[in-house]
Amino acid sequence: MNQVWITKTAAVTALADNLETLYSRLIAGQTAIKLVNRFPVFNYNAKIAACIEDLPSSGYQSMLHTLLDYLFADFGVVPADSFLITASTKSGIDNFERLCRNIPADSGDILPSYLPDIISRRLGLNSKGINICAACASSTIAAARGALLIASGKVETVLVCCLDLVTEFVLSGFSSLQALSPEPCRPFDSERNGLTLGEGAAAILLMNENYARKNRRTCMGRIMGWGVSNDAAHITAPAKDGAGLIQAVHRALKVANLDPEDVAAISAHGTGTRYNDMMELTAFNYLFGDRRFPIHSVKGAIGHTLGAAGGIEIALCLEMLSKQTLLPTAGFSSPETGTKGRVSSSSMAISGDCMLTTNSGFGGVNAAIVLGKGKHTFR
């Protein structure tokens, strides 16, 4: 199989509009979760989220267009022959709300299936590409799909672009499921009581070695392995025994030709809900035994960015591997069983070349990516 190199990343969240600043603020323990002022929240139990300030809609367009402006501001030229894979659960859902309130809005921004065409036209790509809409594992699956296409020789370069917004439609939906915490979420904390929503976007440019060499690209790391599964246990809850996630991680390690002890750290889904976090810990205990390796979640700082979560976390994993430092888990103070020595509210040193990042979503979907460090400039 061809090696899959990551040659460019970008991320925008409520904490920062670029990856470098995001990493430094996360290391400092900062959080972007605060009171929502974008829409009325008095009817909801949770009145907080991590919303990007000054993210307006323009004319009849969705806020997603401004978010894309921020994301690609300094990204540089994307090769026109890049195969595009987008990931989003709700795309321009803010325009659906506007239309429901009889406010003029572009209906062409609403469906996630429209997103590839929007981004393709913006970047001048030769083909429209596809969208992955697989709940909160969407962008992890998109990265896995892109890696498989390159590894199998079907394409030479892939752009993965993911995004999701915080709107009243989204918040009310999670509120009706009683999944939201009235306080900032506390991943892997014994007192956790729900997730906190966030919004953001990420872009990841993948290439095979020949294409990267031909274009003299600087590579930031590799996607070494990937795995996707569905436990089909419940419409919203994960399988308590972690069977689906275990299967996805097993597959990712097999593709990477690695053993569990080769994994230096884990960037977990870590939503702060009682069921998700315990499912992940159960799966990790099964896979890695009682080994005290570092685990973290970013969602206590930037919220749960839904379909964009995996892409943002992949970009952050490359930074963590490069700096050999695991980010702190914001909101973590009372360790859940099995987290002592693994999860911390402070940054932790890591030692190794590989990280595992996982995401899970409604409907029992699970995805895992093994990332390898190794910055290299092809000449």
Span 98-116, pLDDT tens digits: 999 999 999 999 999 999 9
Q: pLDDT category, 170, cuts 50, 70, 90?
A: very high
Catalytic residue numbers read 136, 269, 304
Q: pLDDT category, 292, cuts 50, 70, 90?
A: confident
Q: What is the pLDDT of residue 379?
A: 67
Residue 374, φ and ψ in degrees, nearest 5: 135, 80
> Does position 243 have pLDDT exceeding 80, yes or no?
yes
pTM (2 d.p.): 0.97
DSSP line for 22-76: HHHHHHTT----EE--SS--TTSS--EEBPPTT----TTS-THHHHHHHHHTT--
- List of domains in the chain: 4-218 (3.40.47.10), 223-377 (3.40.47.10)
Residues 14-33, mean pLDDT to the nearest whole number: 97
Contacting residues for 42 by C-beta, under 8 A, at least 6 apart: none
